[in-house]
Amino acid sequence: MRVCLINPPRIQPKAWGKPNVVPPILLASVAAVLEKRHVASIIDASTEGWRNVEELDETKYRAGLSAQAIAERVGKWGADVVVIEIPFSGWSKTAFEVVHAIKAVNAKVVVVLIGQHPSARPEACLSDLDVDFVVIGEPEMTVLELVNALEDGVSDFGGVDGLGFRKDGKPTLTGKRAIIADMDSLPFPARHLLPMELYNEVVRENPLRGEVSKPWTIVTTSRGCPYRCVFCTSFLVWGRKWRARSARNVVDELESVVKTYGVKQVDFYDENMTLDKKRVADICDLIVERGLHIEWFTPNGVRADTLDEPLLRKMKRSGCRKIRVAPESGVQRVVNDVIGKNLDLTAVERAVVLCRKVGVKVGCFFVLGLIGETKADIEATIKFAYKLRRLGADSLIFSIAMPIYGTALYEQAKQGGYLREGFCDYALAATEPLIETPEWSAEDLMRLCARANMANPTFTRAKIARGIRHPKKTLKILLKRTG
């Protein structure tokens, strides 16, 4: 069968600045599995149309190809099946626009949704009659079995685990799909189906995070997270069990992208890359042994308590330029009891000091506005961020807690009546608070977040102003407080 996989246009907060691009590496992984038996293609709509920016309102814009242009390409290519990834609920609006446009061109095309949003809300996705199937969890094997069944003319899909569809007009979900235990069994992502040169063109013009500007790609070396942070969606697709590729398998992929595409920079997109320190040390040794002259980063972060000086030195020698760690809060009670992260904040301080010592840059993630957090806690977090900056952190990233579908935070907010009026999928693509508690209002949180960002050496006052509702008023307050 002919299967077209689509990364739909994105809705992005204006506060994030100029649109950038990220290769849809999960779609490329699904395509690589499909290519064993079927014909696959990928439309990376957010990348191919990255200059096509449409203002949606005062806080958000849409970037990417038009839904109609995507639908026409799907029809011209002659797709039997379309697989659309929705990695974040805030991007579901544009994904459904693409779904409807495709069905309007050819109602016989089978539409399948994968990713975080359909995994969290399968029944809601299936309520749209233009959606034929949803995949819940890890998608490669489920998509392959589904497409095989469609080609074979199967009419009963109950035997395909991890699948949702309508039966007698009602949403039906099959059994849970077993996770892929042997990560080395997956083929390398089908990057030959991606616009590899276009990613390079975009970062040359608009360096990603200000640090990625050379030929680059994404590599994922592990999946799954055993931790239970209240705001995290990772487990919805990858599960709770951590699984890793072997060091040799990872470096084989690195060697392949260096030789094939001239890659010079790599983002490791793992949630927990350093959970097995020996494996990471082996990856570093093999990179050096094979003479792969790359720079690499961990933009999603690593656990601070998995780092030590010998490992960081190996990372540095193999090309690591910057890592990120995630204290999330500067208050141990919040980290333990509110977030559920099980991380000693002294480990974060130690990791920042060690990074500075060995010459690896380090950024720190924080989340503000959690249920159970007080204004005093947020003030303490800002103070802790300043401490980490003094210890050597070169960037501080503050995010407002978002109650994304499928997370414990969403359930807390819904059950406690803390969701703000107007909460919806589309609102999740904004930067304004979607939660209010008796401890703080949305306005309180916006002011605190803006003040927190003043601690960030990479932030300018203009950037802060773009991300808040009343920039002139808030900046006046900030300038008065900070001098």
Spatial distance between the Cα atoms of 239 and 138, rounded to a whole number of angstroms: 8
- Within a 10 A sphere around the Cβ of 84, how many other Cβ atoms? 27
- Please give the share of the chain, as a percent, with pLDDT higher than 70: 93
pLDDT score recorded for residue 471:
36
Angle CA(406)–CA(409)–CA(413) in degrees, nearest 5? Answer: 105
- State whether the Cα torsion 341-345-350-355 is positive or negative: positive
pLDDT score recorded for residue 450:
87
Q: Is the pLDDT of residue 477 over 80?
A: no
CB distance 327 to 391 below 8 Å: no
Tell me the average pLDDT across 49-69: 90
Q: Is the pLDDT of residue 311 over 90?
A: yes
Q: Is the pLDDT of residue 464 over 70?
A: no
Q: What does R_g of the chain's alpha carbons equal in angstroms? A: 22
- Phi first, then psi: give them for residue 42, nearest 5 degrees: -130, 135
The CATH fold of domain 197-482: pyruvate-formate lyase- activating enzyme (3.80.30)
Q: Is the whole-model pTM more than 0.75? A: yes
pLDDT score recorded for residue 384:
97
CB distance 34 to 135 below 8 Å: no
Q: Is the pLDDT of residue 476 over 50?
A: no
Spatial distance between the Cα atoms of 67 and 103, rounded to a whole number of angstroms: 11
Spatial distance between the Cα atoms of 19 and 396, rounded to a whole number of angstroms: 20
The b/e string for 222-241 (b: 16+ C-beta within 10 A; e otherwise) is bbbbebebbbbbbbbbbbee
pLDDT score recorded for residue 470:
40
pLDDT score recorded for residue 457:
63
CATH number, domain 2-173: 3.40.50.2300
pLDDT score recorded for residue 13:
82
CB distance 479 to 465 below 8 Å: no
Q: Is the pLDDT of residue 404 over 90?
A: yes
Spatial distance between the Cα atoms of 303 and 272, rounded to a whole number of angstroms: 7
Average pLDDT score, the chain: 92
CATH 3.40.50.2300 in the chain: give the residue spans. Answer: 2-173
Query: Strands, E, within 64-208: which ranges?
Result: 81-85, 110-114, 133-135, 163-167, 170-173
Q: For the chain, how many residues are written? A: 483
Q: What is the pLDDT of residues 203-223, one digit of tens each?
A: 999 999 989 999 999 999 999
pLDDT score recorded for residue 466:
43
The b/e string for 282-317 (b: 16+ C-beta within 10 A; e otherwise) is bbbebbeeeebebbbbbbbbbbbbbbeeebbbbbee
CATH 3.80.30.20 in the chain: give the residue spans. Answer: 197-482
CB distance 127 to 164 below 8 Å: no
